[in-house]
Chains A and B, each alone.
Chain A
Amino acid sequence: MLVLLLPMTLFLLLFFLLPAINLLGYSIQTQNAQGIIGAPLTLAHFAKFFTVDLYLRVLWNTLRISFWTCIYTALLAYPVAIAIVSARPTLSRVISLIVIAPLVVSVVVRAYGWQLILMAGPGGALNWLLLSIGVISEPLSLLYTPTAVVIGQVHVNLPMMVLPLAAAIGKIDPNLRDAARTLGAPWWEVFLRVTLPLSMPGLVAGVIIVFSLTAGAFVTPVVLGGPSALMLGNLIEQQIFTVFDWPFGAVISFILIFIVILLNTTLIRFVESRKFRRAQA
């Protein structure tokens, strides 16, 4: 068993853990005028991050966008996952295929696709549609807002939420839903009291994946978010490739990784907590 884990462990060690430690090293060193990174050790870069308004705003943007992306992805994914589980085999395979299909298209292409749809003025597909059916009288300016980033991310991440949810819901004994119904529960109570709590492991897995991917996103915010919806990923990219301030880039990366790992461990601990596990058994 352990032997089987060896390649994976080596891989993670070489390509994740060592670079991460290296990164952490950069974040507390000084870069001189020639661009050489070395002594003396300093916490000045961290201090800079937490004192400059712009950086804190970007951090807040990142958390907000990731949070809402998780919420909306979950809201969209539940009906789809329930449909996959309860439909007849052929139909359920078709739905799964439709959900997974967008994965073969690059994130960049999909972001530009959304740009065409969300574009401001009557030229944007969504504005054109809403204007022509008379839902709105003035074109919306959705593009280059955090909302646009959330929309793009929800689309990109939907399969990552649907698949673990469908797996978890598929494991729930259908008699439990029937029992709830005979006891007087209308469909939403069945969902809230049976399907939702018993699919928690799937939801937690989905949230971990979606939050991590969104918090680290930088293509979607660039294409759909623009300057008002900058995320940590964009800030890192600027620091490394434009400003060449590697220690500060390392600080931001470190903060990003820290947030993601903190969230993941908290959620995993919740799923594995004794009370929760016993209830699932």
Chain B
Amino acid sequence: MSTKSAALRLEGLYKQYGKSAAVQDVSLSIEPGSMVALLGPSGCGKTTCLRMVAGLVEPTAGAIVLDGADITRVPVHKRNVGMLFQNYALFPQLTVAENVAFGLKMRRMAKAEIAKRIAKALQMVQLHSFSDRYPSQLSGGQQQRVALARALVIEPDLLLLDEPLGALDKGLRESMQVELRLLQRKLGITTIMVTHDQDEALTMADQVIVMRDGRIEQGGTPKVIYQKPNSQFVATFLGASNLFHCQMDAAGPNILRSGPFRFTVDGAVPLTANPVICLRPESISIAAASAMNAEGPNRASATIEQVIYRGPVMHYHMKLETGQPLVAYEQVRPLHGSRAIEVGDAVVAHWEPSSNHILPG
């Protein structure tokens, strides 16, 4: 199965439903062969965006450009996109092979060629021995693989996935994530995936687009989105964050103050009205109060409220002297022996200046 990699550009897409706008001014550019994840809370317009790209929903305004050609008004059945639905959407009255053949029949392909491609597509998803079964005789994971074969067998320009793994259990979902990503890379097919699972987005995508209320909040590589969120929304939507509302400190241009705590940053603080410090839990270290002085910047004394063992990491939920909560994650290192931090212990939380990420208030 060969697919040519297509470049996709969305230019100022809008979708209005009655008085409310489901999608507003979504512009984005997708490199040929890359995988983009649309991530955001329920109702933020992810599905609407994807369906506009598929042609299932007509945009109120804006343009969809595929390899330089404006396809905004091209009807769905002429777009050559492969789409995966959360509930698989396999045709129940057709066998696995007939399901996969559907798109090829629509293309009036010769019988022998269809048979050859079905065999190849089912081989690709390791379901060649299931071709005569009906969808109701397959497990959820198998059904989604059939749907994937059905979508890819037509050699689409784009692959669109709407929460494709949402209905699978955790273990299967994680292995399918890897499988899907490998296949997507191998075929080099430009892909958009919708998800509200941040782990899935970070695991699978080259680019993560975080959406909120129909708009793009931030787009970038998983690393950028996670490490350099540009708003409190993105910071809290992706992973846990400790947020501190700060003021500039008279002591220096690179010092921020939040109550009794001081934060230093490398270089000068960018000028924002009410800066907020975002501190990721994994960048915080914990020392016993007896072993470390809580004075100084990038330090805070705290009391341990809860210790959660999560296998590879420990989660420490603490309470600062101001009553604010603080969360820290620590890698579990069996060789180093376990640390005796227990509920009620007085500790000092400390971190590097480079961990202080400044957000606009």
Q: Are A183 and B89 in contact (CB under 8 A)?
A: no
Contact B102 A182, beta carbon cutoff 8 Å? no
In B143-171, the 8 Å CB interface with A consists of 147, 150-151, 154, 160
B253 to chain A, nearest CB (A): 55
B83 with A182: CB separation less than 8 A: yes
Complex interface: chain B residues within 8 A of A173 (CB): 87, 89
Answer whether residue A51 sits at the interface, using C-beta atoms and an 8 A cutoff.
no
Bound CA span A181–B103, Å: 9
Task: Pick the contact of A189: B54, B55, B94, B106 (CB < 8 A).
Answer: B106
Query: CB of A179 within 8 A of chain B?
Result: yes
User: In whole angstroms, how far apart are the Cα atoms of A180 and B102 in the complex?
Assistant: 8
CB of A184 within 8 A of CB of B92, answer: no
A182-193 interface mask toward B, CB cutoff 8 Å, 1 = contact, 0 = none?
111110010001
Main secondary structure of the interface of A (DSSP, over half): helix
Interface residues of B in 43-94 (CB under 8 A from A): 51, 54-56, 75-83, 85, 87, 89-94
Residues B89 and A185 in contact, CB atoms below 8 Å apart: no
- Asked whether B107 is an interface residue with its Cβ less than 8 Å from the other chain, the reply is yes
- List chain B residues, Cβ under 8 A from A266: none
Asked if B283 is at the interface (CB within 8 A of a chain A CB), the reply is: no
The reply to whether A280 and B92 contact each other, CB–CB distance below 8 Å, is yes
Interface code A255-280, partner B: CB below 8 Å = 1, 0 otherwise? 00000000000000000000000111
**Distance from B226 Cβ to chain A, minimum over Cβ atoms (Å):** 32
Closest chain-A Cβ to B351's Cβ sits at a distance in Å of: 47
How many A-B pairs fall under 8 Å by CB?
Answer: 76
Most chain B CB neighbours (cut-off 10 Å) among A178, A180, A185, A186:
A178
Of all chain A residues, the one with the shortest Cβ separation from B81 is A182
Let me know if B134 is at the binding interface, CB within 8 A.
yes
When distances are taken between beta carbons in the complex, the residues of chain B under 8 Å from A38 are: none
A178 touches B102 (CB 8 A): no
Give the CA-CA distance A178 to B94 in the complex, in Å.
Answer: 16
Let me know if A94 is at the binding interface, CB within 8 A. no
A197 at interface, CB cutoff 8 A: yes
Instruction: Select from chain A the residue with minimum beta-carbon distance to B76.
Output: A181
Whether the Cβ atoms of A281 and B89 lie closer than 8 Å is no
Q: Do A194 and B76 touch (CB < 8 A)?
A: no
Considering the chains assembled together, what is the distance between the CA atoms of A281 and B102 in angstroms?
19
Q: Is the CB of A182 within 8 A of B56?
A: yes
Query: Are A178 and B56 also in contact (CB < 8 A) when A183-B103, A183-B154, A278-B134 are?
Result: yes
A175 interface residue (CB < 8 Å to B): yes
- B160, chain A: closest CB distance, angstroms: 8
Interface size on B, residues (CB 8 A): 33
Residues of B within 8 A of A186 (CB): 75, 77
Residues in A whose Cβ lies below 8 Å from that of B107: 184
Residue A56 lies at the interface, judged by CB distance under 8 Å to chain B: no
Give the residues in chain A near B75, CB-CB below 8 Å: 186
Question: CB of A75 within 8 A of chain B?
Answer: no
**Contact between B93 and A279 (Cβ–Cβ < 8 Å)?**
yes
**What CA separation (Å) do A189 and B160 show in the bound complex?**
22
Report which residue of B51, B76, B79 has the largest number of chain A beta carbons within 10 angstroms of its beta carbon: B76
Instruction: Enumerate chain B residues within 8 angstroms of A183, measured Cβ to Cβ.
Output: 77, 102-103, 106, 150-151, 154
**A21 smallest CB distance to B (angstroms):** 41
Distance in Å from the Cβ of B6 to the closest Cβ of chain A?
15
For residue B136, CB closer than 8 A to chain A, the reply is yes
**Complex alpha-carbon distance, A154 and B154, angstroms:** 43
Contact A176 B154 (CB under 8 A): no
Q: Please, how many angstroms separate the alpha-carbon atoms of A110 and B54 in the complex?
A: 48
Contact of A279 among B51, B54, B92 (CB under 8 A): B92
Q: Are A176 and B106 in contact (CB under 8 A)?
A: no
| Contact partners of B93 in chain A: CB under 8 A | 197-198, 279-280
B-contacting residues of A (Cβ < 8 Å)?
173, 175-176, 178-186, 189, 193-194, 197-198, 278-281
A-B contact pairs, 16 of them (CB 8 A): A178-B56, A179-B85, A180-B91, A181-B56, A181-B76, A181-B77, A182-B55, A182-B56, A182-B76, A183-B102, A184-B78, A184-B106, A194-B91, A198-B92, A280-B92, A281-B136
Task: Give the interface of B toward A (CB within 8 A).
Answer: 51, 54-56, 75-83, 85, 87, 89-94, 102-103, 106-107, 134, 136-137, 147, 150-151, 154, 160
Q: Which 9 A-B pairs have the closest CB atoms?
A: A184-B106, A183-B103, A279-B93, A175-B89, A179-B89, A281-B136, A181-B76, A182-B83, A175-B85
